[in-house]
Amino acid sequence: MERRIALKSLVTVAGSLMVLPACDLIHRGPLDLSGKQEKLLAELVETIIPATDTLGGKDLQLPMLIQKIVADCYEPAVKESFVAGLDHLQQMAKEIYGKSFVACGATHRTQLLLQMEQSEEASQKDFYELVKELTILGYTTSEYVLTNFTDFSMAPGHFYGCVPNIAQNTR
């Protein structure tokens, strides 16, 4: 009897060890952004969806969401290109306008983003498209937008348990 339990445990441990390499636990760490990069991402999101009479991207904490999605759902190569894209955007702002992206006005920020979007360099274009896509995704699926601007219902329909069966009443 004990031999069966020992064999079962041995097979379970061996199976677990075979499956463990498939779990990508190493690359699921946080996205290491500096304080300046976090501020840059916040202003980038705010430039894409600015606050008007409605809340903007920064108000809905979309930069935190974007960091979490990139850290948890994308491969290390995408994480590295994401951080490199932030650094490149900062470098572009300093080269063109002589100041950081955060210090630039809304018009200059928009021009920089349009330049990245229309760039022939794939890394710049991919970075901008990723940030824009995640910003729009986060905004359109936020509780604020779903409850204030759409006819969203957490549990659609209603169950009326006390209504008599219609099929029985038609006979």
Within a domain: 108? yes
pLDDT digit string, tens, across residues 134-167 = 999 999 999 999 888 887 777 767 767 776 766 6
Instruction: Kindly indicate the confidence band of residue 112, based on its pLDDT and cuts at 50, 70 and 90.
Output: very high
Within a domain: 137? yes
The two structure tokens encoding residue 75: 């491969």
* Residue whose tokens read 């009443």: 169
Within a domain: 152? no
Beta carbons within 8 Å of 69's beta carbon, 6+ residues apart: 134
pLDDT of residue 23: 46
Sign of torsion over alpha carbons 43, 68, 85, 142: negative
Distance (Å, whole) CA 117 – CA 100 = 19
Q: How many domains does the chain divide into?
A: 1
Query: Do residues 122 and 77 touch, judged by C-beta distance below 8 A?
Result: no
pLDDT digit string, tens, across residues 20-32 = 454 454 555 567 8
Within a domain: 109? yes
Segment 103-109 long-range contacts (CB within 8 Å, at least 24 positions apart): 106/47, 106/50, 109/43, 109/44, 109/47
Q: Which domain holds residue 134?
A: 35-147
CA-wise closest residue to 138 among 73, 65, 51, 79: 65
The two structure tokens encoding residue 92: 């572009």
pTM of the model: 0.72
Within a domain: 26? no
**Window from 70-74, 78-82, 159-163 with minimum mean pLDDT:** 159-163
